[in-house]
């Protein structure tokens, strides 16, 4: 019979009603007041429970059913020492031998507590979340989750009928983390956390913030992951990456949305898997000549239409294309093919899905309590509280996780401008000034600097890129001199100016010539990437091809000369998928690109061939990339010929070798156009965007021109060239020694 002294009724009721804040103080084995031993367990559905000796397996005795809902206990009055034990549980249809979760000591150490509390536990993802492990010879999974204000946290899943009363966790009060080791739980099991808020309200079940895999919709549970079975074979790439200075290296990035690059229409329009994508992408990118790929976010997200920019599982590669090891395979395969892998990373905000981070323990944990600081009206999302050490730790550790666990070569950080300003997209009265009364988000600035410091301190060779659309100074300058510490910044101004120019009828372009040249006034203020991204081909903006002016022929010619100008202009390059073959329609995330155009329409094939050749020339000639971010690597030959809408420039490498780029943005042939050059000799017409092979008109210079002793543009020699209509030329000296 129940002895109230050994089994107080109120504690039993706390357990069976799911309100036990400190289960380890009551469940499991304990010493009674007289020194004897008592064991308590809550096992709903059991018809009999026996206690076994943990070493021999001998039955030591049955447990008594104290409460009809499944609360069992046994008292060993003659024992005075704690001992190792197990349970044999008869559920009627099966008998199971199992270890008691409440007999294991605390799992996380003092160092874990200290580092996470101060926000410097950079490998916290190895401690929080769900980790298969062996403790005291017992196989199971260690669960740990940060929820400092919760009244009770339980692990629920397929292993306990999603019953939050069965496995309440231990609170580590020193840093607000709840932990529990569950024997017999295995990789592949689904789980969530059931949380009671500080006032006893039961919250929606929460997915694991550190979960490494997620259940496909309509479910949203986390999935226990075992240790990776992938064997990396990209050692040569990783070693080279660590030694390479990305500022001086070629970088032509192919931005891609994995779900709509290619699909299988004959199989219900399904996605390609990571493994299918790996082989197809490696072949295509090598053939087309791109050096890197940039993935739109592959972290788990519930809504396809967000393209990944509203993630709910920052540590989980999305289920849509396979498992985490499948994703590793894709990265590995691309590396072996010589292709770097960047990914878009979203630390600025998160969605309000109930199973996600929103009010995770019933309070504003990850976000701000005040919507003037914590809510994005534009996107209906929540803003991370960057000033909270644990939140900043969570995000920085996540960035390092992708670089370490998946060999990601760099992170393009999304929506940096929205993080920098407290008044971003807000009206007066809708935001809170900082400590000094300004609109700068000081906590976010500190976070970004710390993020970049940790990534670059790692020495891995991984880089960061900022999508920053304002005039914030020194985004890509070291933190030691007051910068944000990013390696590169997208040049949004160049993109807007040049696309606006290309949309003009050529007859009007002479009045907008500065749209092509203005970028050099600030061209060395940052380490720029010239980006024609996904954002420029959606939401009614039309495709790149359709944004060009003129009839069909002129649109293709305009796009070819625009690409020639872009590849010649200082800065690394980025092009969104489909742009390389001039897809005619806007991007649609629900369908494949229009690959048939490459085989069926010569104009599209011509643009693809041009991009391939631009990539080849770019990588073969260090003039185009070695000094992208130094004034000495670029000179205008003539940037003032607005009457003819012609622009010409010189690219120079460290050895003094040169390449000339000249572009004509009108449909009029510019015959015998004279350009000043720094040295004599034969200049090879290395590329002509109007060549017949690109479906141009074939106007050109018969492959080469000779320099004359005629001074022009302040240079001692000059060449006379025919510049094709809406065409661009790249000319390189046959004897390209330094000068």
Domain stops at, among 164, 192, 223: 223
Residue written as tokens 């898997």? Answer: 273
In a domain, residue 150? The reply is yes
Flag whether pLDDT at 142 surpasses 80.
yes
67 and 117 assigned to the same domain: no
Flag whether pLDDT at 553 surpasses 90.
yes
89 and 139 assigned to the same domain: no
* Number of separate domains in the chain: 3
- For the stretch 249-308, pLDDT in tens is 999 999 999 999 999 989 999 999 999 999 999 999 999 999 999 999 999 999 999 999
In a domain, residue 603? The reply is no
Residue written as tokens 């009265």? Answer: 429
Q: What is the pLDDT of residue 5?
A: 63
Domain stops at, among 208, 223, 238: 223
In a domain, residue 497? The reply is no
141 and 87 assigned to the same domain: no
Q: What is the pLDDT of residue 642?
A: 97
Q: Which token pair is 276? A: 């299918």
218 and 132 assigned to the same domain: yes
Q: What is the pLDDT of residue 736?
A: 77
Flag whether pLDDT at 543 surpasses 90.
yes
Strands 528-532 and 572-576: parallel
75 and 121 assigned to the same domain: no
Flag whether pLDDT at 428 surpasses 80.
yes
The number of angstroms, rounded, from the C-alpha of 370 to the middle of its chain's C-alpha atoms is 27
Flag whether pLDDT at 1 surpasses 60.
no
Q: Which token pair is 451? A: 């993020």
Flag whether pLDDT at 611 surpasses 60.
yes
Kindly report the pTM of this predicted structure. 0.96
Q: Is 551 exposed, middle or buried (0-12, 13-18, 19+ CB in 10 A)?
A: exposed
Neighbours of 643 (CB within 10 A): 9
Is 276 a catalytic site residue?
no
Q: What is the pLDDT of residue 563?
A: 98
DSSP codes, 339-382:
-EEEEEE--S-B---TTTTTTTTSS-SSB-SSHHHHEETTTTEE
User: What average pLDDT score do residues 67-71 get?
Assistant: 94
Residue written as tokens 């007066």? Answer: 428
The Cα-based distances of 615 to 472, 683, 725 in angstroms read: 31, 20, 22
In a domain, residue 120? The reply is yes
Share of the chain above pLDDT 90, in %: 96
Q: What are phi and psi of 31, to 5 degrees?
A: -90, 125
Asked if 313 contacts 262 with a C-beta cutoff of 8 angstroms, the reply is: no
- CATH number of 674's domain: 2.60.40.1180
Residue written as tokens 């050490």? Answer: 389
Q: What is the pLDDT of residue 7?
A: 78
SS3 category, 544: helix
655 and 701 assigned to the same domain: yes
- For the stretch 345-382, pLDDT in tens is 999 999 999 999 999 999 999 999 999 999 999 999 99
122 and 32 assigned to the same domain: no
**Structure letter (DSSP) for residue 214:** B
In a domain, residue 169? The reply is yes
Torsion angle in degrees (nearest 10) through CA of 608, 291, 497, 658: -90
141 and 119 assigned to the same domain: yes
Q: What is the pLDDT of residue 413?
A: 98
Q: How far apart are CA 623 and CA 388, in angstroms?
A: 46
- Of 50, 99, 255, 414, which is the active-site residue? 414
641 and 660 assigned to the same domain: yes
Q: What is the pLDDT of residue 3?
A: 74
Q: What is the pLDDT of residue 269?
A: 92
The crossing angle, in degrees rounded to 10, of helices 602-620 and 552-568 is: 10
| Residue 458 C-beta-side C-alpha neighbours within 13 Å | 25
The Cα-based distances of 579 to 163, 616, 690 in angstroms read: 51, 17, 18
31 bridge partner residues: 37
Domain stops at, among 183, 206, 223: 223
User: What average pLDDT score do residues 703-731 get?
Assistant: 97
The Cα-based distances of 279 to 198, 265, 291, 329, 333 in angstroms read: 51, 19, 16, 10, 7
Flag whether pLDDT at 6 surpasses 90.
no
119 and 175 assigned to the same domain: yes
DSSP codes, 257-284:
-HHHHSEEGGGTTEEPPHHHHHHHHHHH
In a domain, residue 331? The reply is no
Is 467 a catalytic site residue?
yes
50 and 120 assigned to the same domain: no
In a domain, residue 119? The reply is yes
User: What average pLDDT score do residues 424-436 get?
Assistant: 95
- CATH number of 195's domain: 2.60.40.10
Q: How far apart are CA 45 and CA 89, in angstroms?
A: 10
The Cα-based distances of 25 to 12, 169, 370 in angstroms read: 12, 11, 37
In a domain, residue 630? The reply is yes
SS3 category, 60: strand
Q: What are phi and psi of 626, to 5 degrees?
A: -65, -35
- For the stretch 72-100, pLDDT in tens is 999 999 898 999 999 999 998 899 999 99
Q: Is 512 exposed, middle or buried (0-12, 13-18, 19+ CB in 10 A)?
A: middle
Q: How far apart are CA 568 and CA 366, in angstroms?
A: 44
Q: What is the pLDDT of residue 738?
A: 61
Flag whether pLDDT at 586 surpasses 70.
yes
**Structure letter (DSSP) for residue 172:** E
User: What average pLDDT score do residues 713-717 get?
Assistant: 96
Q: How far apart are CA 441 and CA 421, in angstroms?
A: 5
Domain that holds residue 660: 623-733
- For the stretch 452-482, pLDDT in tens is 999 999 999 999 999 999 999 999 999 999 9
User: What average pLDDT score do residues 599-620 get?
Assistant: 97
Mean pLDDT of the chain: 96
187 and 130 assigned to the same domain: yes
- For the stretch 178-233, pLDDT in tens is 999 999 999 999 999 999 998 889 999 999 999 999 999 899 999 999 999 999 99
Asked if 252 contacts 291 with a C-beta cutoff of 8 angstroms, the reply is: yes
- For the stretch 434-458, pLDDT in tens is 999 999 999 999 999 999 999 999 9
- Of 467, 497, 685, 690, which is the active-site residue? 467
């Amino acid at each position: 019979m129940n002895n109230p002294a050994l089994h107080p009724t109120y504690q039993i009721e706390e357990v069976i009603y799911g309100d036990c804040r400190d289960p380890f103080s009551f469940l499991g084995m304990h010493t009674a007041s007289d020194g004897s031993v008592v064991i308590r367990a809550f096992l709903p559905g059991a018809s009999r429970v026996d206690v076994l000796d943990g070493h021999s397996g001998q039955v030591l005795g049955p447990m008594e059913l104290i409460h009809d809902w499944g609360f069992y206990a046994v008292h060993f009055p003659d024992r005075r020492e704690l001992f190792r034990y197990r349970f044999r549980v008869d559920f009627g249809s099966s008998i199971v031998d199992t270890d008691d979760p409440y007999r294991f000591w605390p799992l996380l150490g003092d160092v874990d507590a200290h580092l996470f509390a101060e926000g410097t536990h950079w490998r916290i993802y190895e401690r929080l979340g769900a980790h298969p492990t062996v403790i005291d010879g017992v196989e199971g999974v260690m669960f740990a989750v940060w929820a400092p204000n919760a009244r009770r946290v339980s692990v629920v899943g397929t292993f306990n009928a999603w019953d939050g009363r069965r496995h309440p966790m231990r609170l580590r009060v020193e840093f607000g983390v709840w932990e529990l080791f569950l024997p017999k739980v295995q990789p592949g099991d689904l789980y969530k956390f059931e949380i009671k808020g500080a006032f006893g309200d039961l919250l929606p079940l929460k997915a694991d913030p550190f979960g490494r895999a997620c259940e496909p919709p309509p479910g949203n549970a986390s999935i226990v992951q075992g240790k990776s079975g992938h064997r990396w074979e990209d050692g040569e790439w990783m070693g080279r990456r660590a030694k390479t200075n990305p500022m001086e290296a070629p970088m032509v990035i192919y931005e891609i949305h994995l779900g709509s690059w290619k699909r299988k229409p004959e199989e219900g329009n399904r996605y390609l898997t990571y493994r299918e994508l790996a082989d197809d992408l490696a072949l295509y990118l090598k053939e087309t000549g791109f050096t890197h790929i940039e993935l739109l976010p592959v972290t788990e997200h519930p809504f396809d239409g967000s393209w990944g920019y509203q993630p709910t599982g920052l540590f989980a590669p999305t289920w849509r294309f396979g498992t985490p090891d499948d994703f590793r395979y894709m990265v590995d395969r691309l590396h072996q093919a010589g292709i770097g892998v960047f990914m878009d990373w979203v630390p600025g905000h998160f969605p309000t899905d109930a199973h996600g981070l929103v009010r995770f323990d019933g309070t504003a944990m990850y976000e701000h309590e005040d919507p003037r600081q914590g809510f994005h009206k534009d996107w209906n999302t929540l803003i991370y509280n960057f000033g909270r050490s644990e939140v900043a730790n969570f995000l920085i550790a996540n960035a390092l996780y992708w670089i370490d666990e998946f060999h990601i070569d760099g992170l393009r950080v999304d929506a940096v401008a929205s993080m920098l300003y407290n008044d971003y997209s807000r009206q007066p009265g809708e935001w809170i000034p900082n400590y000094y009364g300004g609109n700068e988000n000081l906590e976010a600035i500190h976070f970004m600097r710390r993020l970049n410091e940790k990534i670059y301190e790692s020495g891995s060779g991984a880089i960061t890129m900022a999508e920053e659309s304002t005039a914030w100074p020194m985004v890509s300058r070291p933190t030691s001199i007051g910068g944000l510490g990013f390696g590169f910044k997208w040049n949004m101004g160049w993109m807007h100016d040049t696309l606006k120019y290309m949309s003009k009828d050529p007859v009007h372009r002479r009045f907008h010539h500065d749209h092509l040249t203005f970028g050099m006034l600030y061209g060395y203020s940052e380490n720029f990437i010239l980006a024609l991204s996904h954002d420029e081909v959606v939401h009614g903006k039309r495709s790149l091809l359709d944004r060009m002016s003129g009839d069909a022929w002129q649109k293709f010619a305009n796009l070819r000369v625009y690409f020639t100008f872009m590849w010649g202009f200082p800065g690394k390059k980025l092009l969104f998928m489909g742009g390389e073959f001039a897809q005619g329609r806007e991007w649609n995330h629900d369908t494949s690109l229009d690959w048939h155009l490459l085989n069926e329409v010569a104009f599209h094939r011509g643009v693809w061939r041009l991009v391939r050749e631009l990539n080849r020339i770019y990588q073969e000639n260090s003039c185009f990339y070695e000094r992208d971010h130094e004034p000495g690597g670029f000179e205008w030959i003539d940037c003032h010929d607005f009457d003819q809408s012609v622009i010409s420039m010189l690219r120079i490498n460290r050895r003094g070798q040169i390449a000339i780029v000249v572009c004509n943005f009108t449909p009029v042939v510019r015959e015998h156009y004279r350009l000043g050059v720094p040295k004599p000799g034969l200049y090879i017409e290395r590329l002509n965007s109007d060549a017949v092979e690109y479906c141009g008109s074939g106007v050109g210079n018969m492959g080469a021109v000779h320099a004359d002793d005629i001074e022009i543009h302040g240079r001692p020699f000059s060449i006379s060239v025919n510049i094709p209509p809406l065409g661009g030329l790249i000319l390189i000296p046959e004897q390209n020694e330094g000068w």
